[in-house]
Amino acid sequence: MTLQQTQHTLRVAGNLVLGDSNGGSGNYQLGGTGRIFAARDEQIINGSFAQHGGRHIVMQKLTVGGGNASYLLDGGILAANVIEVIPGGTFAETGGILQANTFNLDGGTVEGTLRNRGTFNYSSGSFHGKLLNEGVAVLSSNAGKLAPAAMGRQEKDDDFATFGPVLMSPVPRQVQSWPLQRKTWQMR
């Protein structure tokens, strides 16, 4: 089932769930002047959410994944306290405005250009694109998988371009901070 919203406001007092882990799926398309306001959590478990315009506000946590789920932000405004991409989930940002206090990549996939203005936490998953970090990025991963990219050229399409501090923790509980300005990090 696909639901298209291009005007008016949908207000959800409780949790909003798209699809389930038993095979049920749904597709939601938000555009035009449409607005969604979720007062609690929102989960995209199995299906897709495509935001081409409008305003999407999640007061608590937006979770993408758990089955076969995707979120495409290519227009409008997506605002959430926490966005979490887990296994089985893909988040793609190709346009629009992302306003998240915390973005957690915890086993899912990020594509496109992710503009972080809050805190970006990477613990596992695939990052196929660019991170434009204007906040704080915490990269907790295998130390052999993260290396500075060659300045002035792009070897692959997987970059971290940071304008704020980056905290790297190759081993849990051992966080080091480097105050970096305009440094590019590349996933390998």
Q: What is the DSSP string of 119-160?
A: EEEEEEEEEEEEEEESSEEEE-S-GGGEEEPPTTS-SSS-EE
Quick one: how far is CA 36 from the chain centroid? Answer: 18
pLDDT value, residue 146: 46
pLDDT, position 161: 52
Neighbours of 20 (CB within 10 A): 15
- pTM as predicted: 0.79
pLDDT tops 60 at residue 177: no
Which pLDDT band, with edges at 50, 70 and 90, does 163 fall under?
A: low
In this model, does residue 90 exceed pLDDT 50? yes
pLDDT in tens, 107-160: 999 999 999 999 999 999 999 988 898 889 888 755 444 444 443 333 344 445
Label residue 179 by pLDDT band (50, 70, 90).
very low
Cβ–Cβ < 8 Å for 73, 92? yes
Q: Could you give the CA distance from residue 175 to residue 188 in angstroms, rounded to a whole number?
A: 20
| Count, residues in the chain | 188
User: Alpha carbon of 12 to those of 17, 28, 108, 165: distances in Å?
Assistant: 11, 15, 26, 36
Phi, psi of 145 (to 5 degrees): -100, -5
Per-residue pLDDT for 181 more than 90? no
Task: For 144, list phi and psi in degrees, rounded to 5.
Answer: -75, -5
Mean pLDDT confidence for 82-109: 97
Identify the weakest region by mean pLDDT among 40-44, 90-94, 148-152.
148-152
% of the chain surpassing 70 pLDDT: 74
